[in-house]
Copies of this chain bind each other. A is one copy, B any other.
Amino acid sequence: MTTPQSVEADLGWALFATVRYYRQISEDVLAELPGGARGYQVLAAAGRGDPSSQLALAQQLGVDRTVMTYLLDDLETAGLVERKPDPADRRARRILLTDAGEAALCDAHRCLRAAEETLLEPLEPAEREGLRSMLHRLATRTDPSGTPINCTEAAALTDPEPLPPRRRRARR
């Protein structure tokens, strides 16, 4: 039998649970920051002086470009970022931090680091850097293969029919 002995042995479950926890503490700490953890990441990217078009930011954060528009609307309304037309491509806009945005980023970064230490508390100090390093490598993978993952056997076993219509069925 190859099934796991406990949920905890499940990498996916552990990942989701950890992210859930991270989301919670970052929401507490960044409650006043528009967009929460996501807003922070936008500020961090802009503060680094990256190329930072809206599209580039959206791809970096793994969200749709329309979502980035709303996110930046909130950050701009709060006075933390500016949208400046890119002189090299007048379709694009470069996202720049305001002074207030810089201060907010710096402060949020400090708070987040403290919260992260709480998150990482169950680990040995030496392990914490190891985890950061590993997640960093996983997140920045070059993904050279591009080989699409499929597992048709599983598909066939679990359910031959495509079960197209989902959810909301009446009963009783």
Contacts and interface: CB of A to CB of B under 8 A. Distances in A.
Interface of A: 1-22, 25-26, 28-34, 37, 40-41, 44-45, 47-48, 60-62, 70, 73-74, 77-78, 80, 103-116, 118-123, 127, 130-132, 134-141, 148-151, 153-155, 157-159, 162-163, 166-169
16 contacts: A1-B106, A2-B109, A5-B48, A7-B41, A7-B44, A9-B136, A14-B139, A18-B139, A20-B62, A30-B158, A31-B155, A70-B167, A78-B163, A80-B158, A104-B159, A131-B131
Nearest to A113: B2
Chain A residues touching B, majority SS: helix
B158 A104 contact: yes
A167 B111 contact: no
Most buried by B among A2, A40, A136: A136
